[in-house]
Amino acid sequence: MRNKIGVTLVMIIGVMMINGCRQNEEAAASQPVSLPLVSVETLLPQAVTIESTWPARINALQTAQIRPQVGGIVTARLFSQGSEVVAGQPLFQIDPAPFKADVEMAEAVLARSEAAYRQLNLRAQRLKKLEKNGAISQQDYDDAQANAAQAAASIAEAKASLTRKKLDLAYSTIRAPISGRIDQQFITEGALVSAADSQAMATVQQTGRVYVDARLPAAELRNVVTPSSLRGDHSTTHFVLLDENGRPFDVNIKLLFSGTSVNDATGDVVLRAEAENPQRELMPGMYSRLKIVHQLDDNQIVIPEQAIQREEDRSFVWVIDEQNKAERKQIQLGAQTTLGQVVENGLQEGQKLVIEGQDKLHEGMEVRANSLKTKA
């Protein structure tokens, strides 16, 4: 009797367990499947500004070291130190007395040569008549002609010497070869100078406009010096000159040229620009920073760095199609900007780019998309 009761209890318990399993399976089947949640943003084209800053140095447009061309004692300084001078303005005076005496001596030599030529030339003309009549020999006439020619050459030599002496006299007044601002004098009155001196007497620098010489990688040069028409876009580039604290100078800058060779050690190229300097804020030798602002056209797709996945030398992103399914796209990246990375190829306007949650995706997976702000 007890055995029959035990068997009955076991059968009842088994039926209850089977019914419970069926209920759990039905309940699980009735619950909705949980789709992965990703954050997306809709891509729209936009204008992009790329800024880069490079060290630069200021150089004068023209620099002239004032040096003597003749030797002598400096008797006067004829300029105010630190002032603006114009080309041809007297700067120093070397004692002119020795040069005046040389000019007078050269003038006397010229007068003597001219007198000797007149005498010898008249004699040659008289002997010519006598030679026709046979009163003198041909040799005497030839000698007279040669003496007259030598006298003419002496005149030419004396004139050249006089010109040189007058030039030395003019060089005794040292003048500014260019217009610009002159620095302090390095030679004082009473000093003995000569044309062979290595020490300049002063320096004149033209600083109304100055050169800005910057060094930047050769890879950056294409966007700066290549016209937008050749790049196939409508981009523009302009320059801003910054001081050591990052504050801009209020000056206009234009690009002149770039270097023709790349430095083997650094891979840099020299970029030269010209800046207006009406207030003389920019001084030769000053270190500064040249900011290059490259404004791309308004048809650029820019994505944040966190959306990009990289495998070897390729880059990928995930997008969500109209059926909320994940799709992996290979893209070609362009310039880096403050807004993100420019995409040159692989993405189109209106696509939904996955920004967060892409690590759990695979091709064709259905997802729930949480839209972030539209990329515009």
pLDDT at 223 over 70: no
Residue 305 DSSP label? G
pLDDT reported for residue 95 = 97
Q: Is 93 exposed, middle or buried (0-12, 13-18, 19+ CB in 10 A)?
A: middle
* Tens of pLDDT, residues 101-160: 999 999 999 999 999 999 999 988 888 878 777 777 888 888 888 999 999 999 999 999
Does the pLDDT value for residue 374 go beyond 70? no
DSSP label at 313?
A: T
Secondary structure percentages of the chain, helix, strand, coil, to 5: 30, 35, 30
- Determine the pLDDT at residue 230: 40
Give me the domains of the chain, ranges plus CATH numbers.
37-48+299-371 (2.40.420.20), 51-60+207-295 (2.40.30.170), 96-171 (1.10.287.470)
Q: Phi, psi at residue 137, to the nearest 5°? A: -80, 160
How far, in whole angstroms, is CA 358 from its chain's centroid?
Answer: 43
213 or 262, higher pLDDT: 213
pLDDT in tens, 16-47: 666 555 555 554 444 455 788 888 889 888 87
| pLDDT score at 30 | 44
Name 369's bridge partners: 38
Which residue carries 């290549």 as its tokens?
226
- pLDDT the model gives residue 23: 54
Kindly tell me if the per-residue pLDDT of 358 is higher than 60: yes
Which of 19-23, 215-219, 297-301 is least confident? 19-23
DSSP code per residue over 235-279: -EEEEEEE-TTSPBPS--EEEEEE-SS--TTT-EEEEEEEEE-TT
| pLDDT tens readout for residues 249-278 | 999 999 888 877 787 778 788 889 999 998
pLDDT of res. 296: 75
CB-CB contact of 365 with 34 (8 Å): no
**H or E segment and range at residue 27:** helix 2-30
> What mean pLDDT is predicted for residues 82-106?
96
According to the model, what pLDDT value does residue 28 have?
42
CA dihedral 179, 185, 190, 192 (to 10 degrees): -80
Taking only the tens place, the pLDDT of each residue in 43-87 is: 888 878 888 889 999 999 999 999 999 999 999 999 999 999 999
Contact (Cβ atoms closer than 8 angstroms) between residue 281 and residue 274 = no
Q: In what helix (H) or strand (E) does residue 295 lie, and over which residues does it extend?
A: strand 287-295
| Terminal Cα-to-Cα distance of the chain (whole angstroms) | 85
Query: pLDDT-based confidence at 319, cuts 50/70/90?
Result: very high
> What is the average pLDDT score of the chain?
85
Top pLDDT among 218 and 185 is at 185
